[in-house]
Amino acid sequence: MARYNYPKVVVTGVGAVTSVGNNVADTWEAMLQGKSGAAPITSFDASEFDTKFACEVKNFDPLLFINRKEVQRMDKFTQLAIASASMAIEDAGIDFEKLNKDRIGVIIGSGIGGMWTYHYQQELLYQRGGKADRISPFFIPMLISDIAAGHIAIRWGLKGPNYATVSACATSSHSIADALMLLQRGDADMMVVGGSESVICPMGVGGFNAMKALSTRNDSPETASRPFDKDRDGFVMGEGSGVLILETLEHAMDRGAKIYAEIAGMGLTDDAFHITQPAPGGEGAVRSMKLCIEDANLLPTDIDYINAHGTSTPFNDKNETEAIKTVFGDYAYKISINSTKSVVGHLLGAAGAVEAITTVLAIKNSIVPPTINYTTPDPECDLDYTPNKPRERKIKAAISNTFGFGGHNASLCFKAFEE
Query: 348: closest CA among 66, 19, 27?
Result: 19
Cα 250 to Cα 9, 158, 189, 419: the distances in Å are 9, 19, 9, 11
Query: Which among 55, 169, 292, 381 is annotated as catalytic?
Result: 169
Q: Give the Cα separation of 14 and 84 in Å (integer).
A: 8
Catalytic residue (one of 309, 381, 408, 413) = 309
Closest CA to 88 of 158, 191, 188: 191
Distances from the Cα of 375 to the Cαs of 62, 92, 383, 385, 388, in angstroms? 38, 39, 14, 11, 9
CA distance 42 to 52: 9
What is the CB-side half-sphere exposure of residue 22 using CA atoms within 13 A? 12
Write the CB contacts of 127 (distance below 8 Å, at least 6 apart in sequence): none
Beta bridge partners of 47: none
C-alpha–C-alpha distance, residues 234 and 362, integer Å? 26
Determine whether 169 is an active site residue: yes
Q: Does the annotation mark 174 as catalytic? A: no
**H runs (alpha helix) in 233-350:** 249-254, 283-295, 314-328, 341-344
DSSP symbol at 133: G
Q: What's the sign of the alpha-carbon dihedral 358, 360, 363, 365?
A: negative
- The three-state DSSP-derived secondary structure of 254-273 is HCCCCCCEEEEEEEEEECCC
- Alpha carbon separation from 222 to 20, 35, 39, 378 (Å, rounded): 12, 8, 7, 20
Classified as helix, coil or strand, 177 is: helix
Q: 151, 174, 251, 346: which one is catalytic? A: 346
Task: Tally DSSP H helices, then E strands, for the chain.
Answer: 13, 14
Residues 6+ apart with CB under 8 A from 334: 384
Q: Which long-range contacts (CB under 8 A, 24 or more apart) does 252-255 make?
A: 252/10, 252/12, 255/93, 255/94, 255/98, 255/99
346 catalytic, yes or no? Answer: yes
| Residues catalogued as catalytic | 169, 309, 346
